[in-house]
Structure 1
Amino acid sequence: MKYLNMFLMVTLLLVFSLTANAGEELEVTVSAAISLKDAFEKIGKLFEDSHKGAKVIFNFGASGTLARQIEGGAPVDVFAPAAQKDMDDIEGKGLIAYGTRVNFAGNSVVLIVPASDNVKVTSFDGLKSEKVKKVAIGNPKTVPAGRYATKVLNFYKALPAINDKLILAENVRQVLDYVAKGEVEAGVVYLTDTVVRANEVKTVSTATEESHKPIVYPIALIKGAKNEKISNEFIKTVVSKAGRDILKSYGFKTLK
């Protein structure tokens, strides 16, 4: 009986171990630009529903910050920044799996104001008005939307005139939050950000494509990803027709 009990205990431990390992093998950790949050959460649900036992763990934030985390050894399987530069940085350091990088979506830069706009800003040039005290953009050092915003503001000759008005946010969704709450008179975000808080902000101007480089989102598998097979399946879901349809529903431009 003693040996039987020991045998059963060992068997149970083995079963639990195999079950835990199987679960871990179906986990995908995705670091993605925060502008992708709503679309990716929906794609993640689609992926989990179509891959039995799979679980997607998202880490959303500023693309530059996410890239630094990966460089520091963060356990990430898939990376999807909002700019080519951040993917270029980690690819240049040999951190993405060969042949897995693909561009999957595009975006536009827009100027937004609170829904109850009392200042009546209607253009990027209008930011120079004395009535405009604060303008929010992402921090250009770590936020791609902030870098695009700087390019756009320079194009429209709003810089350096509004330098003292700029409020630098940690990510593009913080810019959106500042504007929605009326804490600033205006902000520069992606078109897709306005979709999630359409009742709280107004888009007053869309930057011409000539004002900045094309906004293209890449996605890739991180070299040494813990769960390579299931992570590649997630990437396939993102670029699939169903994935593109979800992205399009949130205002992203789909790429051929």
Structure 2
Amino acid sequence: MLRKLAITVMAAALLVAAPVAGSGKVEAAGKTQLLVSAAASLQDSLDKIEVTYEKLHPDVDLVFNYAASGTLQKQIEQGAPADIFFSAGDKQMNALVDAGLIGSHQELLKNQLVVVVPANSKAKLTTISQLTGSSYKKIAVGQPESVPAGQYAQQALTYRNIWDTLQSKLVFGKDVRAVLSYVETGNVDAGFVYKTDALTTKKVKIALTVSAQAHKAINYPLGIVKNTEHSAQATEFYNYLKTSAATSVFKSYGFSLY
């Protein structure tokens, strides 16, 4: 329990906090608590994997810290507890590898960038250049500084030479799930999220899949934090996430394998 509390205390001190989103379980005596810092877009699939894994490993208590990958990167850089880092972008993982903070790591998943609109929207979208039109007054994207989905959106809009044109319309979210929420509630007319996020709700529909040529590849690298206090358990979970049992769950949520 003290270690779980340490996440909140450390993150608040660093002013880059993301709420620890896990099962809410109280740590049982004799269990090893494994802290997994994971991109927000992985929440649904990892929550499902958690149930199966803890049945197979009753001595392990998985606790997930879901946030923007850039936020998680900063937390790890500044000493916040973590055993596993699962990023939605190569940039964040590479920065930690270069800093000597990540041990074993590899690419695991791929995703697609899509534009979503509210489910009841009648707007037609055949190219992202149409976002400059009057039908789209507010467009949500993740903060490019910390949210990989926001970085990919910026790259795609820049590729079409409309990033600067759209500045007055843009609404920035702290992570991709915040962007999805803005669209679900109708607070914006469109938003850039991952395909996997769009598939989690009936309140939005995919208006357009963004061309992969317009942005960098959307890869999800997985790594073990070097200063983990539970190297054996972290390695075991790291390896489990690469098994067919786990990857079949990821695929069921719309991810593809690297």
Give the shorter-chain TM-score range.
Answer: 0.7 to 0.9
| Aligned residue number for residue 155 of structure 2 | 151
User: TM-score, normalised on structure 2?
Assistant: 0.86
Q: Tell me whether 1:219 sits opposite 2:225 in the alignment.
A: no
Specify the alignment match of 2:231 in structure 1.
228
Identify the residue that residue 67 of structure 1 maps to in structure 2: 73
Secondary structure at the aligned position of 2:241 is classed as helix
- Is it true that 1:249 corresponds to 2:252 in the alignment? yes
Asked if structure 1 preserves the Cα contact closer than 8 Å seen for 2:125 and 2:208, the reply is no
How far apart in 2 are the matches of 1:67 and 1:129? 36
Query: What is the rounded CA distance, in whole Å, between the counterparts of 1:46 and 1:233 in structure 2?
Result: 14
| Unaligned segments of structure 1, at least 5 residues | 1-18
Residues of 2 paired with 1:93 and 1:210: CA distance?
30
Task: Report what 2:93 is aligned to.
Answer: 87
How large is the RMSD of aligned CA atoms in angstroms? 1.3
**Deviation readout 1:168-212 (Å, 9 max, x if unpaired):** 110000000000111000000100001111x10010110111111
Which deviates more, 87-96 or 135-144?
A: 87-96
Distance in 2 (alpha carbons) for counterparts of 1:157 and 1:251: 29
Contact 1:113 1:121 (C-alpha < 8 Å) held by counterparts: no
Find out whether 1:176 has 2:169 as its counterpart. no
Report which of the two structures shows the higher radius of gyration computed on alpha carbons: 1
Q: Which amino acid aligns with 1:146?
A: G
SS in 1 for 2:102: coil
1:214-239 CA distance string (max 9 Å, x none): 11101111012011111111111111
Separation in structure 1 between the aligned mates of residue 170 and residue 127 of structure 2, nearest angstrom: 16
More deviation in 44-53 or 177-186?
44-53
Q: How many residues align?
A: 231
- Determine the C-alpha separation between the residues in 2 that align with 1:181 and 1:242: 34
Aligned to 2:128: 124
Q: Which structure 1 residue ranges, 4+ long, deviate > 6 Å from structure 2?
A: none
Unaligned 5+ residue runs, structure 2? 1-27
1:38-77 equivalences in 2 (<5 Å): 38-77=44-83
Tell me the TM-score normalised to structure 1 length.
0.87
* 1:122 CA displacement: 4.3
The answer to which structure has the higher helix fraction is: 1
Asked if 1:78 is matched to 2:84, the reply is yes
Deviations 1:18-64 (A, max 9, x none): x94x32xx221000000000011111112111112211000000000
1:135 counterpart (139, 153, 170): 139
SS of residue matched to 1:239: coil
